[in-house]
Amino acid sequence: MTAMLEVAGLGHTYQAKDGAHTAIADLSFTVGTGELVCVVGPSGCGKSTLLRTISGLISPTSGDVTLHGDAVRGVPDDLAVVFQDYSRSLFPWLSVQKNVEFPLRHSLRRRARKARVAEALEWVGLTGAARKYPWQLSGGMQQRVAIARALAYRPALLLMDEPFASVDAQTRFELEDLLLRVRTEYDTTVLVVTHDIDESVYLGDRILVLSSSPAAVVADLRVDLPAQRDQITTRESESFVALRGEVARLLNVGRSSKELRAQRHADERQAARWAEAERAETGRIDVPRQSTR
């Protein structure tokens, strides 16, 4: 499988008022054409930052992202992103239909555009809402519009940041199956950030497990499940349950090592405070206390 996306030594440090913050340190991985890779990691570890750098929305402070062998500098044409924050991703002054149509306005003629939009709205179960405006829809419906817009565009690379977090469980299952169907039909390469371990196993060909911030790749797991998946039988299978356990363990290991580090730093700070207090009390600076024995 040829690598469509290559992330090499990627790092990003945000400059904020209260100082610099390194969100991702040294991330490297590749994604093959037509592959669906899920990214899981502790909250705040840098997953959204990773997607923002891949999509060219922010420039990494170190490392490279290449798409079809070309360095990403700015948002590539054949890429679509579904953001976590649906409330900011749709144009409130455009109807649902016009929102989905928007990215297609220069690439397709009117009739083809309309057909593409109608198909995508049907996929996400929103045919009846085509003439409504985003503010007339629930959060979950707005997110389905954002998903329809991304799918209608038929991008070569689709980046999704917690795409199904705001929809109910049944709709979530339907959208997961829709994503699997569409990516098989159009050979779309997909990178999905999710907090849901089960979802990462159900959707992924591979799962990238990230460490706590600054994110690094803890594991790159191949999902050894049949390509044809089913919400009930796949989730009940032994391989599914085993892999789910492995991902959970890897995430917990990452979390506990972070906690241990934080605890160690806290202990060191506490020890330094005690030593300082002792110095102040005894008036000594560097002379070790004599043994009382």
Ligand X SMILES: Nc1ncnc2c1ncn2[C@@H]1O[C@H](COP(=O)(O)OP(=O)(O)OP(=O)(O)O)[C@@H](O)[C@H]1O
Binding site for ligand X (CB under 6 A): 14, 16, 21, 23, 41, 43-49, 213
**CB-wise, 196 or 246, nearer to ligand X?**
196
132-141 per-residue burial string, b: 16 or more CB within 10 A, e: under 16: ebbeebeebb
Please say which residue, 193 or 223, places its beta carbon nearer to ligand X: 193
Give 8 or 58: the residue with its C-beta nearer to ligand X.
58
Q: How far is the CB of 41 from ligand X (least distance, A)?
A: 6
Q: Is the dihedral of CA 146, 147, 153, 159 positive or negative?
A: positive
Residue in the block written with tokens 């555009």: 113
Residue 269 identity: R
Query: Three-state DSSP class for 173?
Result: helix
Q: Which is nearer to ligand X, 96 or 167 (CB)?
A: 167
Nearest to 177 by CA among 224, 141, 230, 126: 230
Judged by CB, which is closer to ligand X: 15, or 291?
Answer: 15
Q: Which is nearer to ligand X, 43 or 291 (CB)?
A: 43
Residue (33 or 48) nearer to ligand X, CB: 48
CA distances from 39 to 42, 60, 90, 205 (A): 10, 18, 24, 11
Hey, what amino acid is at 108?
L
State which H helix or E strand residue 10 sits in: strand 3-16
**Which residues, 6+ apart, have CB-to-CB distance to 267 below 8 Å?**
none
Contact indicator for 86, 148 with CB cutoff of 8 Å: no
Residue 214 beta carbon to ligand X: minimum distance, rounded to whole angstroms: 8
Q: How far is the CB of 210 from ligand X (least distance, A)?
A: 8
Q: How far is the CB of 65 from ligand X (least distance, A)?
A: 15
CB of 11 to ligand X, least distance (A): 12
- Token readout for 293 is 């024995």
State in angstroms the smallest separation of the CB of 55 from ligand X.
13
Least distance from C-beta 69 to ligand X, angstroms?
A: 26
Q: Cα–Cα distances in Å, from 90 out to 100, 138, 145, 146, 202?
A: 9, 13, 8, 7, 28
Phi and psi, residue 188, nearest 5°: -80, 140
We find the least distance from the C-beta atom of residue 115 to ligand X, in angstroms, to be: 36
CA dist., res. 236 & res. 32, Å (int): 28
Which lies closer to ligand X via its Cβ, residue 40 or residue 124?
Answer: 40
